[in-house]
Structure 1
């Protein structure tokens, strides 16, 4: 743990170097996308219609939750996190483990809010290059999000009916 991490963070030390590495990776990916798009002559949209924004937002929400909270995707998080508890439905709560970059990645992959920026970046890049494909992927993820809400509503209705 560096002196900056000790001064800045909690008793375990905030992995500032790991966060800087992740932020640099994200920025580099964004730069590579912009460079590649320009070289290939990809014409970026002048705007995003409200319906597409709603699809992108709902898909980002669902993909972020799938990556950070779903039991089935826990194999992706396991090297960087440890299970704290099961949550509602198929969701779980994982906590980051380790130090430095490992802990920073654990923070990222266990936080749907943190992961959503990365997911949105990928979906927006896809939307810029292949809007029809992006809409299809976003529609599928949005359908899963709507299904989740309907599953919870159904379960709640059953519970009320049973007394």
Structure 2
């Protein structure tokens, strides 16, 4: 173990002496997010695209609902569980086609950090929103089309739940 690794381990123990916190995993995730953001910025600049002074309200609403849906789809949907499986373990059904999973504790701090990230729709939302926003600048028509599908699906989900609640109350 190098002196830098030893120092990092000491910092992690001092930060959370009674609980394991995968600080190195979090650093990797923050670095990856920084690289994603820098890559998007470079693509915008190299592509000669102009960043809007302020996004249109319709785009903000569209991307907000699409971000919600894609974040939940990636973090909770049973069909996307194979993407999470290397980092998580199935726990139980959660209803409405969602499942609960737990972070795998074995393995590296990076695996643990990624597991925490991909199980949290709130955490994923920043990544998804960044990607969709970058897409809005780089490929606006395609991004709006994808966001429209995700938004329509989210609205449909809420309507399905409202229908189920109304049906239960009627019975």
Verify same fold: TM over 0.5.
yes
Scaled by the length of structure 1, what TM-score is found?
0.93
Q: Secondary structure at the match of 1:79?
A: coil
Counterpart Cα distance in 1 of 2:122 and 2:54: 24
Check 1:124–1:32 CA distance in 2 against 1; reply closer, same or farther (3 A cut): same
- Please say if 1:80 is aligned against 2:80: no
Which residue matches 2:142?
133
CA shift for structure 1 position 136: 1.2
Counterpart Cα distance in 1 of 2:102 and 2:13: 20
- Is the Cα contact below 8 Å between 1:44 and 1:129 reproduced in 2? no
CA RMSD of aligned residues (A): 1.5
Which residue matches 1:155?
164
Aligned pairs, how many?
162
CA shift for structure 1 position 5: 2.1
Unaligned regions of 5+ residues in structure 1, if any?
none
- Please say if 1:36 is aligned against 2:36: no
CA shift for structure 1 position 46: 1.7
Q: Secondary structure at the match of 2:95?
A: coil
Scaled by the length of structure 2, what TM-score is found?
0.89
- Please say if 1:7 is aligned against 2:1: no
Unaligned regions of 5+ residues in structure 2, if any?
1-7
Counterpart Cα distance in 2 of 1:86 and 1:8: 34
Q: Secondary structure at the match of 2:48?
A: coil
Write out per-residue CA displacement over residues 70-113 of structure 1, whole angstroms, 9 at most, x where no aligned residue: 00000111110112221121111111113400000000110001
